[in-house]
Structure 1
Amino acid sequence: MKLAILSRNTKLYSTRRLVEAAREQGHSVRTLDPLRCYMRISSDGFAMHYKGQSISGYHAVIPRIGASVTRYGTAVLRQFELMGSFTPNSSDAILRARDKLRSHQLLAAQGIGMPATVFGDNPDDTADLLSMLGPPPHVIKLNEGTQGAGVMLTEKLSASKGVIEALRGLYAQFLVQEFIPEAKGADLRCFVVGGKVVAAMKRQAPKGDFRSNLHRGGSAKGARTTLAEQEVAIRAARVLGLGVAGVDLIRSARGPLVLEVNASPGLEGIEDASGVDVAGAMVEYVAERHKRRLAKRASKS
C-alpha cells in the first residue's frame, strides 16, 4: 500500500509512530505537509503538486490536520479523496468534528448523552439563555478550541455573564454547558479505530483545575471501559463519520456523557497510558479497508 501521512511536522510523536507502524507492516509511506500541497481543479480531472513535483497514486491518506490549518488541510484531503485515495476520516467528517456546535447537534439528534448545552448570539438574550441551562457552575467553551484551551468554569451567574460578555466583545463563538460535579475533574479518552475501542485512558485534572487535558498538566493511566462506554464512543464516532477518533467521555450519575469527539487525536498519551500499539491498529485498519476496495473493484470488472 502506498500511504501518505498529512502532517505539518515529521518530528511529532504521532506522525513518527504512524510512519514507523506503516514501515513495520511493509507499506510505502511518505509524510506530506498539507500547506505545501497545491491543487488543480477542473471538470476534466484533479491534480496535485508537492514542492514542485506531481503527486498521485496514493492508495490511502491518514490526516493529521491541526486546528489552525483546518480549512486548507481539509481542502487538500478532499482533493486526495477526489483522486481516489481512501482516508479513515473524510474531509467532511473532520469539519463536522471540529465544529463543537454542529457535532453536539448531530450527536444529540441520535440520542447520545452529553452535558446540556446552550448557544446564542444576541447579548440581549444572555439572561434567558443561561436560564435555559440552569444554575451555575457553568462550563464555557470556545467553539473551535483544542487541548483544553478556551475552556472556562464559572461558579456564579454574574461570572458567567461577564465571561460571555467578554467573549462576545471578541466576536468569539462559544458554547455554555452544565458542569458535572460527580466527574471530579476526570474524563475517559476512548480511542476508536474502525468501529472498535482499541485503547482507553482515564485523565485526571491537576489540583485546582477541572480540565483533564494532558497539555494542561493532567495525568493519565490506562482504563477499563464498560460496554456502555464503548458503545457510546463507537456510536459517537460513527455519527460523525470518523473511522479514527478520540472520544472524550465523563462518567456521570446518568451514564457516560460525550464531551468531545477529536478527529485527530494524539497518540503519545494513549499509547503511554494503555501500552497499546494504537498507531499499528490505525495502519492495519487503513490497509484492510484498502484491500476491501481492491476486492470490490475486482468483483465488478
Structure 2
Amino acid sequence: MNIKILSRSSKLYSTDAIVQAAIKRKHNIQVIDPLKCDIVIEKRKPEIYYQGKKLDHVDAVIPRIGASITFYGTAVVRQFEMMNVFTTVESQALVRSRDKLRSLQILSKAGLGLPKTVFTNYGRDVSGVIEHVGGAPLIIKVLEGTQGLGVVLAETNKAAESVIEAFNGLQARVIVQEYIKEAKGADIRVFVVDGHVVGAMKRQGKEGEFRSNLHRGGTASVIELSDEEENAAIKAARAMRLGIAGVDLLQSERGPLILEVNSSPGLEGIEKATGKDIAKSIIRYIERSI
C-alpha cells in the first residue's frame, strides 16, 4: 500500500516508529508536512500538491496533527477524504477531540463517568462555580491548553476564586473540575486502535506534582486494566468516533472517570512502558480497513 503520514517531522519518535512498522510490513510510506501541502478545490476534482508534486494513488493517511496546526491540518485530512483516501482519524473526529468542552459533552451523553465539570461564560458568580464541583481542592483548566499547560490545582476556595477571576479578566475560557483525591496524582493512558485496547500504562506525577504528564517528570508503568476500565476506554473512543485514540482516565471510588480523549497520542511513553509494538497495531488497522 501507499501510505502517507501527516507529521511536521520524520524525526519524531511516533512518526519514525510508524514508518519502521510500515516498512517491515512491505508498504510504501512517506512523511509529509501538512503545512507544506497545497489544497486545490475544483468541482469533483479535489487535489493535493506537496512540494510542487501532485499526491495521487494514496491508499491511506495517518494524521499526526499537533494542536497548534489543527485548522490547516484538518483541512488537509478533509481533502484526502474528498479524494476517497482512508484516514485513521477522520477530520471531524479530530476537530471534536480538540474541543475539550464539546468532548466532555459527547462523553457525558454516551453515559461515561467524568469528573464533575462546570463551564460558564466569564460568570461573576465564581463562588457558585466552586460550590458546584464540591469546593476546593479543585482543578482549573484553560480550554485551549495541551500537555498539562494551563492546568491549575487550587488548594483553597480563596485561591480558586483568585485564579478563576484572573482567567476571566484575561478572557481565557476555563473549565472547573472536581479534584479526585483518591487518584493520588496518577492517571491511566489507554491506547485504543480500531475499537481494541492495544496497550495501557499508569502515569504517576512526580512528588508534589498533581499532573502526571511524562514530559513533566512523571513516570510510567504497565498496568492491567479492569474490565470496567477497558470498556470505558473503548466506549470513549467510539463516542468520539476515533479509530486511534489515547484515552486518559482516573481511578476513582465511583469507577473510571474519563479526563480526555487524544486523537494524536504519542507512542514513545506507552511503547517503552508496555514493550508493545503499538505502531504495528496502527499499520495492521489500515490493512484491515482497505
Aligned to 2:177: 177
1:187 matched to 2:187? yes
For 1:163, the aligned partner's letter is V
Q: List runs of 5+ in structure 2 lacking aligned partners.
A: none
Deviation at 1:123, TM superposition (A): 3.5
1:236 matched to 2:245? no
Aligned to 1:246: 246
Deviation at 1:128, TM superposition (A): 2.1
Two-structure CA RMSD over aligned residues (Å): 0.9
Runs of 4+ in 1 over 4 A off after TM superposition: none
Aligned to 1:116: 116
Deviation at 1:15, TM superposition (A): 0.4
Q: Which moved more, 1:244-253 or 1:161-170?
A: 161-170
Aligned to 1:66: 66
Percent sequence identity is 52
For 1:243, the aligned partner's letter is G
CA contact (8 A) 1:118 1:133 kept: yes
1:12 matched to 2:12? yes
CA contact (8 A) 2:122 2:171 kept: no
Q: TM-score, normalised by structure 1?
A: 0.94
Q: Which moved more, 1:143-152 or 1:192-201?
A: 143-152
Deviation at 1:90, TM superposition (A): 0.5
For 2:155, the aligned partner's letter is E
CA contact (8 A) 1:36 1:51 kept: yes
Aligned to 2:267: 267
For 2:194, the aligned partner's letter is G
SS in 1 for 2:46: strand
Q: TM-score, normalised by structure 2?
A: 0.98
For 2:254, the aligned partner's letter is R
Deviation at 1:57, TM superposition (A): 1.9
Counterparts of 2:81 and 2:256 in 1: how far apart (Å)? 34
For 1:112, the aligned partner's letter is L
CA contact (8 A) 2:185 2:209 kept: yes
Q: List runs of 5+ in structure 1 lacking aligned partners.
A: 291-301
Aligned to 2:27: 27
Aligned to 2:285: 285
For 1:242, the aligned partner's letter is L
Counterparts of 2:56 and 2:162 in 1: how far apart (Å)? 52
Deviation at 1:103, TM superposition (A): 0.3
Deviation at 1:165, TM superposition (A): 1.6
Per-residue Cα deviation, 1:82-135 (whole angstroms, up to 9, x for no partner): 111111210110111111100000000111001000000134232222222221
Aligned to 1:198: 198
1:217 matched to 2:217? yes
Counterparts of 1:176 and 1:169 in 2: how far apart (Å)? 16
Aligned to 2:43: 43
CA contact (8 A) 1:123 1:165 kept: no
Counterparts of 1:119 and 1:141 in 2: how far apart (Å)? 10
Counterparts of 1:196 and 1:137 in 2: how far apart (Å)? 35
